Structure 1
């Protein structure tokens, strides 16, 4: 079987798989670790925002072209809309200047509680930095992506399978996922 066939399957079924498993994900805790990593698309670096809880469970992810306050705010809104997340009590971020204003704006809009502790210490995100390795290990041999759409669809499939691998699904949902795949 050609590798392009497998890639077409990932592009086609990755988003569907992620949509189906998202409703079965186990609840996360209220200690968020947020960071971004870089993915090459058409020879230019794009930003993959990711958030995990203190146990390493993936909260959410978002591929964006820019790294600014507006994008960070969009990522936090997406993460807060997920049905498996709790409102954060503590958010650990790196020194990216976009996070703090985005969180403050969401607090003013009453999307986030005002009592959130924002930690801007570099080494608190080590768990998330280690979690980035999994994605980088799969993306690096691809030598980047040729379009933003294929990058987004591929990363959705990779993240979905990573959630399954991290045992984020209850046992019955895992069985229905196996039936879906076979």
Structure 2
């Protein structure tokens, strides 16, 4: 359970700050200034701590409300800079563009790709087929998965099929670009969980009562509400 006990600021202030951070291209200092204009004096470092502490928990617990994804996956990786060094964000979407899963890794190799596939399949089931680029590491990872299966996953290394996931990367990069590089690998993973969560909310991927008539903001708060202390 998410524990807000002992926090100096009200829960609503915390949730507003972390939602704005992962929903819009803002820095922590931008948020500090915005909150100051609204009569709330909060240091940017506090918002950073809230994001790292709460965003991955909200994203993890929201998964039970996530709609099922399709069995045809498009998988690719993009670059995320952490402490001035490029790291790798593995992502997959189905043919409808719905986010399947994501994983930040320090390296871009077969082991990293295999960890991504293991995580994605554990959370979303096994796909019928996977489209990817010509990466040898990614192909080796899915071959390793297939080695333990009676019915292998069909692999299609056709570049144009991956256009949908490459376009989907842009929504994530648009939000992370103004963050001015992440200062730690752990912090990057925590914040990216929140960015991906907001992106999935925008794509209507959660079963929330009245979602069709509810704003994206209220859907985020509804998912966060499930982990508030009673």
The TM-score normalised by the length of structure 1 is 0.89
Residue correspondences, number = 178
Write the deviation string for residues 117-144 of structure 1: whole angstroms up to 9, x where unpaired: 2111112111111111111011111121
State the match for 1:108 in structure 2: 147
The residue correspondences of 1:1-40 to structure 2 (distance < 5 A) are 1=35, 2-40=43-81
Q: After superposing the two structures, state which structure 1 stretch, 117-126 or 47-56, moved more.
A: 117-126
CA contact (8 A) 2:75 2:130 kept: yes
CA contact (8 A) 1:51 1:128 kept: yes
Q: After superposing the two structures, state which structure 1 stretch, 23-32 or 166-175, moved more.
A: 166-175
Give 1:109 shift: 2.0
Q: Over aligned residue pairs, what C-alpha RMSD do you find?
A: 2.0
Say which SS state the counterpart of residue 23 (structure 1) adopts. Answer: helix
The residue correspondences of 1:12-161 to structure 2 (distance < 5 A) are 12-82=53-123, 85-110=124-149, 113-114=151-152, 116-161=153-198
Gaps of 5+ in 1: none
Change in 2 beyond 3 A, CA 1:67/1:77: same
CA contact (8 A) 2:92 2:100 kept: yes
Write the deviation string for residues 118-173 of structure 1: whole angstroms up to 9, x where unpaired: 11111211111111111101111112111101101110111112111211111338
Say which SS state the counterpart of residue 65 (structure 2) adopts. Answer: coil
CA contact (8 A) 1:29 1:86 kept: no
Give 1:57 shift: 1.0
- Point out the structure with max Rg over C-alpha: 2
Paired with 1:178 and 1:148, the residues of 2 have a C-alpha distance of 24
Say which SS state the counterpart of residue 98 (structure 1) adopts. Answer: helix
Write the deviation string for residues 13-41 of structure 1: whole angstroms up to 9, x where unpaired: 10111112101100001010000000001
Paired with 2:224 and 2:105, the residues of 1 have a C-alpha distance of 31
CA contact (8 A) 2:65 2:208 kept: no
Write the deviation string for residues 70-122 of structure 1: whole angstroms up to 9, x where unpaired: 1111110000000xx24211211012111111111111123x831x2211111
The residue correspondences of 1:158-177 to structure 2 (distance < 5 A) are 158-172=195-209, 174=219, 176-177=222-223
